[in-house]
Amino acid sequence: MAERYDVVVAGGGVVGLSIAFALARAGVSVAVLDRREAGREASWAGAGLLPAQSDPDRRPSHPTLALRAWSARLYPEWSAILREETGIDNGYRRTGGVDVAATEAEEHALRTTAGRWRVEGIAYERLAPGDFGRVEPALNPGLRLAYFLPDRAQVRNPWHLRALATAVANRGGVIASHRGVEGFATVGDRVTGVLTTEGPIEADHVVVAAGAWSGGLLERIGVRAPTPPVKGQIVLLNGGRPLLRRIVEYGKHYLVPRDDGRVLIGATEEDAGFDVLPTADAFRGLLEVAGALCPVLRDAEIEATWAGLRPGSLDTRPYIGPAPGFRNLVVATGHKRAGLQLSPATAELVADLILGRPPRIDLSYFRIGRDPAPAGDDVFRS
C-alpha cells in the first residue's frame, strides 16, 4: 500500500516543525521530510532572539505586527506545553533587553522605534545617561541612548527544535531526516502527494516550508515564490562566567547572553548565494561591534563561529498561504531574519488553512504571487 498522511511538510526547520506541532495537536496525521538532518539549517544557526510581548488589548494595525504579537504571546504558552509533553526545556527566557544607539542618526531611528513600541503597548523605559549600569552593568557608559525592554525574550534554537520534533513524534507524527522532496504528484489543481528520494508519498495536503530552498522546489510545479538566501554569520564567545545579563540590540547587530555564560554576537546580512562558510571580515566586524557595546567582552574566548541562510522573499514579508493554481498546496517561508520569532503564529495560520478554519490574520498581505511590497514597508528594525 502507498505511504500516505493527511499532511506532508517539506522542510524540517522551525517553520515546518511548528506547523507539524500545530497540526499534530489537532489530531492530524503529519510527516515532516527533510533532505538533511531536520533542524540543522537556518533554524539551528539563528540566535533565538524573540520580541517583547505587546499589550493584548491593542489590535495591531499591521498584519506583520499582528503575526509578531501573536507569536510573542504563543511562545511562553508553547514552551510550557512542550516542556510538559516532552520534558525538554526549550530555553525560553524573558531575559529582558536593552536597545542602544551610538550616533545621532541611530538615536533618531531608535526614538522612532520607541514610538512604535508605545503604540503597540510594549513595555519600555528610557535609561538616563549614567544609569545604564542599573540594567546592564556591561554596557558601554559612553553610548548615546539606551532603552530597557523588560519583556524581550530568547529561546535556545536547538533545544526548541528538539522539543518540537519530540512532541510531534509523541503524537504519532513522523520526522524523516535525509528524505528530500524532489517533486510533486498532481491531478488538475490538486497535489496528490510528493516524490521523494525514497519513493512517493500520498497526502491530502502538502506544505512547502523548505526555507531558502523553497523557491527552487516550488518552481518545479510552476509556482513563483523566490526565496533568495540571506547569509548570516554569528560568533560565540565564552567568558567562563556570566558577562552579560540582558540581550543587547544595536541596529542589525545584537548580543545574546546564555544562562551558561556564553554570549552570541550576531549577525551579518550578506548576499552570498548558498555559501555558508564563515569569513574573516564578518568575524572581525562582529567582534568590533561587541567590544564597542560591551568592552568586557574583549577578554572573552572565542568558542565558535558559524553561518546560516535565512529564507528571503520578494519583499520584506513572508509567504503564508495557498500556492496559486493549487487547492491543497500551502507555502510557509520567506521569514528572513524573523523566522524563529514568527514561527508559532505562522504554524497556527497554516493549521487554520488546512483544517478549514477562517485564518485568524488576513493572509492577503502574505499571499504568494503578490506584487512586491513598496520599500519602507518593513516594520522590523532588524
Ligand X SMILES: Cc1cc2nc3c(=O)[nH]c(=O)nc-3n(C[C@H](O)[C@H](O)[C@H](O)COP(=O)(O)OP(=O)(O)OC[C@H]3O[C@@H](n4cnc5c(N)ncnc54)[C@H](O)[C@@H]3O)c2cc1C
- Choose the binding region for ligand X from 6-14, 137-145, 278-286, 356-364 (rule: CB under 6 A): 6-14
The nearest distance, CB 294 to ligand X, in angstroms, is 18
Question: Quick check: 34 binds ligand X (CB under 6 A)?
Answer: yes
Q: Looking at 79-87, 119-127, 209-217, 286-294, which segment touches ligand X (CB under 6 A)? A: 209-217
Nearest distance in Å: CB 155, ligand X: 8
- Contacting ligand X (CB under 6 A), which of 41, 120, 136, 348? 41
CB 309 within 8 A of CB 274: yes
Among 24, 47, 248, 350, contact with ligand X (rule: CB under 6 A): 47
- Taking alpha carbons only, the member of 293, 228, 283 closest to residue 255 is 293
Nearest to 20 by CA among 68, 66, 76, 78: 78
In whole angstroms, what is the distance from residue 207 CA to residue 10 CA?
6
**What single DSSP character describes residue 298?**
G
**Does residue number 60 form part of the binding site for ligand X (CB under 6 A)?**
no
Residue 215 touches ligand X, criterion: CB under 6 A: no
Q: Residue 378 contacts by C-beta under 8 Å, 6 or more apart in sequence?
A: 316
User: Which grid coordinates belong to 180?
Assistant: 528530500
Task: Return the C-alpha cell found at 14.
Answer: 522551525
User: Per rule CB under 6 A, is residue 209 in the interface with ligand X?
Assistant: yes
**b or e along 60-76 (b: 16 or more beta carbons within 10 Å of the residue's beta carbon)?**
beebbbbbbbbbbebbe
Least spacing, CB of residue 134 vs ligand X, in Å: 25
Report if residue 262 touches ligand X, rule: CB under 6 A: no
Q: Among the candidate windows 43-51, 128-136, 164-172, 366-374, which touches ligand X by CB under 6 A?
A: 43-51
Distance CA 242, CA 136 (A): 12
Contact between 253 and ligand X (CB under 6 A)? no
233: closest CA among 215, 252, 218? 252
- State the first-to-last Cα distance of the chain, in angstroms, to the nearest integer: 49
Closest to ligand X by CB, 259 vs 299, is 259
Q: Is 163 in the site for ligand X (CB under 6 A)?
A: no
Closer residue to ligand X, CB minimum distance, 111 or 178? 178
Within residues 284-343, the interface with ligand X by CB under 6 A covers 308, 310-311, 333, 335-341
User: Is residue 263 within 8 Å of 47, Cβ to Cβ?
Assistant: no
Question: Which residues of the chain form contacts with ligand X (CB under 6 A)?
Answer: 10-16, 33-36, 38, 40-43, 45-49, 180-181, 209-213, 217, 232, 234, 266-267, 308, 310-311, 333, 335-341
